Structure 1
Amino acid sequence: MATKAYVAAIFISVLITTSAFATIWIVDNNPDPSGGYTTLSAAHAIAMSGDTIYVYPSVTAYAGITVTKQLYIFGTGFDLNIYGGQATTAGSEISGTMKFDPGSGGSFLEGFGGGFTADINVGNIIVKRNDLSKVDIGGSNCQILQNEIIGTAEPGVVTMSGNLGNVIIANNKIINTSSQGTTWARWALNCEPSSIITVVNNVLRANSAQRAIEGLGATSVAQNNIIIDGITTGDGVFQYNMSHSTLPAGTGNIENMDMSIVFENPADYTTGLHLLPGSPASGTGYGGTDMGIYGGDAPYVDGGHPGIPAIFHIESEVVTTPQNGLDVLFKAKSNRE
């Protein structure tokens, strides 16, 4: 009798289109790793620009690194124990900071938990579907998409440098949970007036004495956002936004709204930000779309799983014979991009 180990439900992506010249690297720090490398640092050292790194789920977080090459780095998502539907209820978590330095332009980071920091010092970086505590943007043409960004950072959980162009911040939870008053700046989104920014379909919150959106410049746009709490300021184009308080003048803005009739639970930032049936934010955004993170062209994805095909169920016989072979049943799904 040949004993076959049960095939674990692991993070496997299938039918991925990659460059013929690119390499896929595996990072797995579990006690019985699947091969490859056990740290992001080791995989980064061997990788070439244009390569892809897949990071397996683990109960142990992976230490953040400084990225100096163009890399596509994928985890399995976060809060999978709540939302399910994937191969595992464990996520791929990062501790500390993921820093993007010169040489890393064009990199992509998606599907990680851990409440880590993204520190971007170069242009053309995409940070998507991650659980973060802070994002610092220091390059043009960056995209911050579908993330859960919750922390107490000063001067904001999302900040940026001046004189940047074409920064897109879309479909994120941007929540500063600090109860600090006005002594220190504990803002949600801290913009620079000289930068050109598109802020669309986000949900933002800061202490009522603090800024939810600060310093949006005249060449920037805020649209379809919902401000749960905090003050909104700036000279940009504010249109089709909703706030618990007042907003800068603009078309389609809805002010002084009771958030308890907007969301399922405005105090639950993990699962409560779906719009209630008949919510005043339903269909009242630009072009008749929904305001908030589940509206627009790229709705927020609960669980943060990356937009690549994946196996979500595997089962097989534990014991078989060489003559009979091994029957394996697996189910795959195409995750929404």
Structure 2
Amino acid sequence: MNIRSIISVISISVLISTAMFGKVWIVDNNPNGVGNFTTLSAAHNTAISGDTIYVYPSLTAYAAITLTKQLYIFGSGFDLNLHGGQATTTVSSIYATMAFNNGSQGSVMAGFDGQFGIDINTSNITIKRNDLYAVDIAGSQTKIFQNEIVQNFLGGAIVIRPGGYSDILIANNKIVNLINDGNCDGIESQNDAIPTILNNVVKITNTTTSYALQNLSSSSIVINNIVILGNVSGNAVFQYNMANASQFPAGNGNIINVNMVNVFDDPNNYETGWHLKPGSPAIGAGQNGTDIGIYGGDAPYVDGGYPGIPAIYFIDAEVVGGPGNDLNVIFKAKSNKE
């Protein structure tokens, strides 16, 4: 099975949808901020479906909200102090859990820090380039890609709930579970779910009772992933994956019993160490000769989580406008690749 068409269609759909902006709102909780609002909640209440919300970088995190409208919400990225290339190292952080409920179909969220949670309770939601602790999926046509998902609590980093959800893409994510007891998985699926899992790197601390990939149905597609630590269960289509032991079946391009020291710059450092080192056995070993892991495939991981739009790092305005008034604003922004 060729994954290029899957990624290409998804990438094009995200590009088209995020280009069809309605009105743009600015959320800024900095002292003397010049945005339209200081909270996401206020912006959500005023915005209509199709609008875009830029969340300005701040030292104070923004409270999460429940979405019931189709919105495009963008922050400045995450771990900017580690990866550079931006005009600021201050990030747009979220705390608590962002929920996507009925009415929010078609929403996109990208570029946020804060180790927050995501609850998806509807279809056609895109979560990309965020620093999260967990994603809970109860909806089809869900796209989770280019995120850093580090679970510090009991439970899975990505959980697909029962309900027969399909057309779920989980691609090019760092997935880490740091809990050393209980059931603390990487990706938990269901027998009736149909996910496509591509180019992720998964590391699980508790390898006794927890799984890097769990309960994958025979309709699941698992290609070009690397399991540093963690068990694998299910009857998925496993192709061109790599693991530290024999978690994947032999053949079909799978590479097993690999010393991860030979694969990554530093397998123990998920923040900056998961680039493939020179001579890595994962280089060119994936489907169609691509690299296995997060920097391979058609949607390579983006260090720093920069959103695929210009990132705002400076705002100047003479007049502060309210929800019913125009706002004259000067923006300074840095362009970012999609």
TM-score, reference length from structure 1: 0.86
C-alpha separation in 2, matches of 1:219 and 1:17: 33
* Structure 1 contact 204–212 (Cα < 8 Å) conserved: yes
C-alpha separation in 1, matches of 2:92 and 2:54: 10
Residues 267, 212 of structure 1: alpha-carbon distance in 2 compared, 3 angstrom cutoff: same
Report the aligned-residue RMSD.
Answer: 1.7
| Amino acid paired to 1:148 | E
Alignment partner, residue 126 of structure 2? 126
C-alpha separation in 2, matches of 1:130 and 1:309: 16
* Structure 2 contact 87–334 (Cα < 8 Å) conserved: no
Q: What displacement does 1:313 show?
A: 9.1
| Number of residue-to-residue matches in the alignment | 302
Alignment partner, residue 177 of structure 1? 178
C-alpha separation in 1, matches of 2:102 and 2:333: 37
Matches within 5 A, 1:59-138: 59-138=59-138
* Structure 1 contact 201–226 (Cα < 8 Å) conserved: yes
Alignment partner, residue 187 of structure 2? 189
* Structure 1 contact 87–313 (Cα < 8 Å) conserved: no
C-alpha separation in 1, matches of 2:246 and 2:76: 39
C-alpha separation in 1, matches of 2:40 and 2:314: 26
Q: What displacement does 1:233 show?
A: 1.1
Q: What displacement does 1:334 show?
A: 3.3
| Amino acid paired to 2:226 | I
| Amino acid paired to 2:148 | E
* Residue ranges of structure 1 left out of the alignment (5+ in a row): 1-15, 315-329
C-alpha separation in 2, matches of 1:25 and 1:331: 16
Q: What displacement does 1:248 show?
A: 3.5
C-alpha separation in 1, matches of 2:313 and 2:152: 35
User: Higher Cα Rg: structure 1 or 2?
Assistant: 1
* Structure 2 contact 129–305 (Cα < 8 Å) conserved: yes
Alignment partner, residue 309 of structure 1? 310
Q: What displacement does 1:130 show?
A: 0.1
Residues 274, 245 of structure 1: alpha-carbon distance in 2 compared, 3 angstrom cutoff: same
Q: What displacement does 1:17 show?
A: 4.7
C-alpha separation in 2, matches of 1:17 and 1:195: 30
Alignment partner, residue 271 of structure 1? 272
Alignment partner, residue 285 of structure 2? 284
Other structure's SS at 1:127 match: strand
Selected match of 2:201 from 198, 203, 216: 203
Which structure shows the bigger proportion of residues in helix conformation? Answer: 2
* Structure 1 contact 247–253 (Cα < 8 Å) conserved: no
C-alpha separation in 2, matches of 1:336 and 1:198: 24
C-alpha separation in 1, matches of 2:244 and 2:184: 18
Which fold has the larger relative contact order, with Cα–Cα distance below 8 Å and residues 6 or more apart in sequence? 1
Alignment partner, residue 12 of structure 2? none
Other structure's SS at 1:199 match: strand
CA displacement 1:130-162 (0-9 Å, x = unmatched): 000000000000000100000133331110113
Q: What displacement does 1:332 show?
A: 6.1
Alignment partner, residue 168 of structure 1? 169
C-alpha separation in 2, matches of 1:189 and 1:154: 13
CA displacement 1:49-88 (0-9 Å, x = unmatched): 0100000000000000000000000000011111121221
C-alpha separation in 2, matches of 1:154 and 1:218: 27
C-alpha separation in 1, matches of 2:172 and 2:35: 35
* Structure 1 contact 77–304 (Cα < 8 Å) conserved: yes
Other structure's SS at 1:175 match: strand
Other structure's SS at 1:287 match: helix
TM-score, reference length from structure 2: 0.86
- Higher mean C-alpha deviation, range 134-143 or range 246-255: 246-255
* Residue ranges of structure 2 left out of the alignment (5+ in a row): 1-17, 316-330
| Amino acid paired to 1:67 | L
Once the two structures are aligned, what percentage of the paired residues are identical?
A: 54
* Structure 1 contact 96–117 (Cα < 8 Å) conserved: yes
CA displacement 1:182-225 (0-9 Å, x = unmatched): xx211111111211110000000112222100011000110000
